[in-house]
A and B are shown apart, each in its own frame.
Chain A
């Protein structure tokens, strides 16, 4: 095939185009390029599986338009778990060195232990003077033998004396050393024994500045407040004027008030255990922990990240919880470099007003401005930029919003209306995942990183649990975010009982299948304090291993899995005047609720919820359908978590669906007419959405397009209260098949027909013999001919290849006309099947004509004339003149200037 294409004189594949041109691979000097016109916009499915306007030149030009962007972590050691290097030398007393031994009853180092001699009224001490032992440190030691009553730790040269346990066992002490070094000092009754081993001192609380006597001290992975003070525990890492998302966890709460301040800018004050989120615009560089002199409890997992990047805002604007909130006058703006100095740029601007108490929003994008909009919801306008200023939200005292706005988007649109479409289909999809959130998920490092609950044990690289008290293993590392989805997977070997995963209290399935399984599920994070956990119910006996949690970002197209082809469509009009705003539709026993989901087409989605049981639930659109005519409809739909089993689409009748769509198997089912379902199509799109093509509304008797939901009962759909589905767009066309989506917003809208003509040239086409090859698919079986040809610009001298007229069958044909007289008319009928791509070639030569399809010579004619030299001079997607345009899909079109052999034609057309 590749070698054959090298010998072709014209090759057109879906690879390159300009406004008004479809560009050929061969010849490469432009002499064979096609003229293309449509004179309107159109949509396509791009290589990423997104439905987009071909005129759209850019992605969203607004940075951080949904205010969700988080900066890097401004706090270090926010969970107070950081530990420094070992500051004690010879802590295991392996040698009799490094320790300064003294006191009235000097201790000795012997047999790997530090042994104090204890007498009444005297003291015995062992100490090291390391200059690094100062400030907050974690001290551990093991008492191996003891009858002493007292043991104390203090600084090397004395000072802050602190009594510590002298009982047998390993002890951990957090101490704030106010001077260098450490000293162990024992005392007690005569004849007492105290032997210790494995002394360790490491620095903790790094990066925090904690004032002595402030009531703040470091504990095990937390900072502890005891009547703690304000402005005395802090880090200096903020920038004045910036807004930060601050999260923290309060634990061990006893009494008092706690809060975090961005310098002196106020935020929440809290009085209970819990995980808290705050947004504060800082007025200085310090993050202060505030105890108000009353707080008794502990705090950990402190995170501070910048939000609101890229926006400049007046003081009345604040940013948090993924919205920008205004309290009245004042503006917010950002600069978009692509629009600087490019006045006259056509832009599509959209924004979502989430709350209005008073006033409204006026968006001014470099002079392309909306009116002041006061309604909650998503709003879109197109305009042309007229200045080089900024993207403003409520500039110059307009709007005066008291409320919130988000999802601000600006997309550049070209004015070019003659852009051919390369449309992609046949995608494979995969989950789009974030990085791993779990450390030591395979338990190869024992229980490191895990909080292991009662009854759990980590042995042999897995976490085991026997029945008893319900408990969990968990990791709380500050990485889970409320509202985000996570793919939580783990292996479970279950003997009995039930196990369940959760993310911040958002629960996964209750799993109780005996045996070894991999549980993998998507969990939406709730608001609980524990990030990731697996809970063993009381009866659980088994083990867990290979725990993995990654943020689930939806689906993405497997790279290069889709196949692109030229899409040539007829003129069509979407007769629905509000194809994306279903609040404009009428509804019966239904709620229509806006939701925020931008894939696979950047428009608002709606949740359509039934408000009734035992009755019909529907939304409908009163169109201008003409009684007796035939229509096709298409929809982008997705089931909700509480979805009806069926949708029903009714046009022929107002009350009875013409066909049912079953969410449980993504199949259509007949209702009013046997055979309807077979004509419909359900195509998988991104993120669970499906494009439904419903071309079966023939001889309608009403003017309504109805969408019912519910369960089937006697040929009708009956709603179930609370069930819902999602709907993104709808299209109604007066023709026998569905074409590409045409958005509407207040009027019916027409996409013009695609016209691709005037390719090739007399130098690339041989009139006396040759081959015309195309890999093509019809859009549907219909009763018109759709033809591409080599011709002299008329229908008199032409080599035609295309689809024969049939409303039921898929028929291909070739026709050679010389002087208006047929020389060969070759056809092949695939029968009543849906169109698919076919590799077709027509060989024309004096008394030698053959039609090849998919590697088979399907028809021949051995009698007929061809054209005199230089008669044919044009390759076009019509029959030669302006009639019978080729409407279909094309993967390849090629011309040879000589008649190929049967072997070559078989190779060329073989699938």
Chain B
């Protein structure tokens, strides 16, 4: 059964390294591909906490404020342990998978 994991790593590289170590993605002849049980890995990146504001001409007044870290969503049929990197945004999620509820994610244990 497919499960959706939502994660947030300090950096993009740390996230990719973690996924490699966990076997979510694997390296085949120099190419990074999904492992057999992995359906999707989505590198979301920065998530907006407070949107930017603009004037009537579209010029930025106050820049957007982003959450710390780099977000990655994973869909896999494996039981995965992302430790403290796993997050649970529920209905506040910034990303979802087509055909799945916005809040579809492995619940906190």
Chain B residues contacting A41 (CB-CB under 8 Å) are 98-99
Inter-chain contact B94/A55, CB cutoff 8 Å: no
Cα A571 to Cα B42 in complex, Å, equals: 9
Q: How far, in angstroms, from A586 to B98 measured CA to CA in the complex?
A: 25
> Chain A contacts of B46 at CB under 8 A?
624
Question: Cβ of B26: which chain A residues have Cβ within 8 Å of it?
Answer: 882
Can you spell out 25 A-B residue pairs with CB atoms less than 8 angstroms apart? A38-B39, A39-B2, A53-B99, A417-B2, A417-B99, A417-B100, A588-B56, A624-B45, A746-B102, A747-B102, A748-B44, A748-B95, A748-B96, A749-B96, A750-B95, A750-B96, A750-B97, A751-B98, A752-B75, A752-B97, A752-B98, A882-B26, A882-B33, A882-B36, A883-B31
Q: Is B10 an interface residue (CB 8 A)?
A: no
> Within 8 Å of chain A (Cβ to Cβ): is B28?
yes
Once A39-B40, A588-B57, A747-B102 are accepted as A-B contacts, the answer to whether A883 and B95 lie under 8 Å apart by CB is no
Q: How many residues of A contact B (CB 8 A)?
A: 35
Contact A622 B51 (CB under 8 A): yes
List which A734-788 residues lie within 8 A (CB) of chain B.
Answer: 742-743, 746-753
Main secondary structure of the interface of A (DSSP, over half): loop
Q: Give every chain A residue within 8 A of B40 (Cβ-Cβ).
A: 39-40, 571, 750, 752-753
**Contacting pair B31 A37 (CB below 8 A):** no
B105 within 8 A of A: no
**A795 interfacial by beta-carbon distance below 8 Å:** yes
Minimum Cβ distance to chain B for residue A70 (Å): 37
Residues of chain B within 8 A of A573, CB atoms compared? 42, 95
How far, in Å, is B66 (CB) from chain A's closest CB? 9
What is the chain A residue whose CB lies nearest that of B41? A571
Within 8 Å of chain B (Cβ to Cβ): is A626? yes
The reply to whether A747 and B75 form a contact with Cβ atoms under 8 Å apart is no
A620 contacts the other chain (Cβ, under 8 Å)?
yes
In the complex, chain B residues whose CB is within 8 Å of the CB of A654: 58
The chain A residue with its CB closest to the CB of B94 is A747
CA distance A795 to B33 in the complex (A): 14
Residues of chain A at the chain B interface (Cβ within 8 Å)? 37-42, 53, 55, 382, 417, 571, 573, 586, 588, 620, 622, 624, 626, 654, 704, 742-743, 746-753, 795, 881-884
- Given contacts A39-B75, A586-B54, A622-B52, is CB(A795)–CB(B29) below 8 Å? yes
Q: How far is the CA of A138 from the CA of B81 in the complex (A)?
A: 93
Q: Which residue of A lies closest to B91 (CB)?
A: A746
CA distance A654 to B95 in the complex (A): 25
In the bound complex, residues from chain B placing their C-beta under 8 Å from that of A749 are 95-98
- Compute how far the CA of A270 lies from the CA of B56 in the bound complex, rounded to whole angstroms: 49
When distances are taken between beta carbons in the complex, the residues of chain A under 8 Å from B44 are: 748
Number of interface residues of B (CB under 8 A): 35
**How long is the Cα–Cα vector from A742 to B51 in the complex, in angstroms?**
23
A38 surroundings in chain B (CB, below 8 A): 39
* Contact B95 A624, beta carbon cutoff 8 Å: no
**Bound form: Cα–Cα A38–B33 in Å:** 15
* Across-interface contacts of B57 in A (CB, < 8 A): 588
- In Å, the complex CA distance between A626 and B97 comes to 21
Name the residue on B nearest A881 (C-beta). B28
The answer, yes or no, to whether B50 is at the interface (CB within 8 Å) is: no
Task: Let me know if A750 and B98 touch, CB within 8 A.
Answer: yes
Bound CA span A622–B51, Å: 9
- In the complex, what distance in Å separates the CA atom of A156 from the CA atom of B28? 108
Of all chain A residues, the one with the shortest Cβ separation from B59 is A654
Query: Which residue of chain A lies nearest to B31 when distances are taken between CB atoms in the complex?
Result: A883
List residues of chain A with CB within 8 A of the CB of B33: 882-883
- A573 and B98 alpha carbons, distance in the complex (Å): 9
Interface hits, B35-73 → A, CB 8 Å: 35-36, 39-40, 42, 44-46, 48, 51-52, 54, 56-58, 64, 73
B22 in the interface (beta carbon within 8 A): no
A41 vs B99: C-alpha distance in the bound complex, in angstroms? 5
B34 within 8 A of A: yes
20 further A-B contacts with Cβ under 8 Å, apart from A382-B101, A571-B40, A624-B48, are A39-B39, A39-B40, A40-B97, A41-B99, A42-B99, A53-B99, A417-B100, A624-B46, A704-B58, A743-B98, A747-B93, A747-B94, A747-B102, A748-B96, A750-B95, A750-B96, A752-B98, A882-B34, A882-B35, A883-B33
Residues of B within 8 A of A884 (CB): 31
B95 touches A586 (CB 8 A): no
Chain B residues with CB under 8 A of A39: 2, 39-40, 75, 97
- Interface contact A742-B98, CB-CB below 8 Å: yes
Q: Mark B1-44, 1 if CB is under 8 A from A, else 0.
A: 01000000000000000000000001011010111100110101
Known: A417-B99, A743-B98, A883-B33. A750 touches B58 (CB 8 A): no
Q: In whole angstroms, how far apart are the Cα atoms of A626 and B100 in the complex? A: 26
Residue in B39, B45, B99, B102 whose CB lies within 8 Å of A55: B99
Query: Complex Cα distance A588/B94, Å?
Result: 26
Query: Smallest CB–CB gap between B12 and chain A, Å?
Result: 11
A53 vs B2: C-alpha distance when bound (angstroms) = 20
Closest to A620 in B: B58
Known: A747-B96, A749-B96, A883-B31. A37 touches B39 (CB 8 A): yes
Closest to A746 in B: B102
Known A588-B58, A747-B94, A882-B34; judge A40-B99 contact (CB<8 A).
yes
Cβ contacts under 8 Å, A417 to chain B? 2, 99-100
Nearest A residue to B42 by beta-carbon distance? A750
Bound-state Cα–Cα, A883 to B30, Å: 10
Whether the Cβ atoms of A883 and B28 lie closer than 8 Å is yes
Q: How far is the CB of A741 from chain B (nearest CB, A)?
A: 10
Cα A53 to Cα B98 with chains together (Å): 10
Residues from chain A with a CB closer than 8 A to the CB of B2 are: 39, 417
Measured between C-beta atoms, what is the minimum distance from A480 to chain B in Å? Answer: 44
Among A571, A586, A748, A751, contact of B58 (Cβ-Cβ < 8 Å): A586
Closest to A747 in B: B96
Give min CB distance, B87 to chain A, whole Å: 14
Q: Which residue of A lies closest to B26 (CB)?
A: A882
Chain B nearest CB: distance from A567 CB in Å?
15
Chain B residues with CB under 8 A of A586: 54, 58
What is the CA–CA distance of A382 and B103 in the complex, to the nearest angstrom?
A: 13
Residues of A within 8 A of B98 (CB): 40-42, 742-743, 749-752
Q: In the assembled complex, which residues on chain B have CB atoms less than 8 Å from the CB atom of A704? A: 58
- Residue of B with least CB distance to A384: B101
For the complex, give the distance between the alpha carbons of A742 and B31 in Å.
27
A750–B100 alpha-carbon span in the complex (Å): 10
Counting chain A CB atoms within 10 Å of each CB, the highest count among B40, B45, B73, B75 belongs to B40
A622 to B58, CA, bound (A): 10
Give bound CA distance, A571 to B43, whole Å: 11
Chain B residue nearest to A415 (CB atoms) is B99
B57–chain A nearest beta-carbon distance, Å: 7
CB distance from A634 to the nearest CB of B (A): 15
Interchain nearest-CB distance for B74 vs A (Å): 11
Q: Say how far A498's CB is from chain B's closest CB, in angstroms.
A: 47
**Nearest 4 CB-CB pairings of A with B:** A41-B99, A39-B39, A41-B98, A752-B40
Interface centre among A571, A586, A620, A884 (most CB of B within 10 A): A571
User: Which residue in chain B gives the minimum CB-CB distance to A748?
Assistant: B95
Question: Which chain B residue has the least Cβ–Cβ distance from A577?
Answer: B94
- Complex Cα distance, B34 from A39, in Å, reads 14
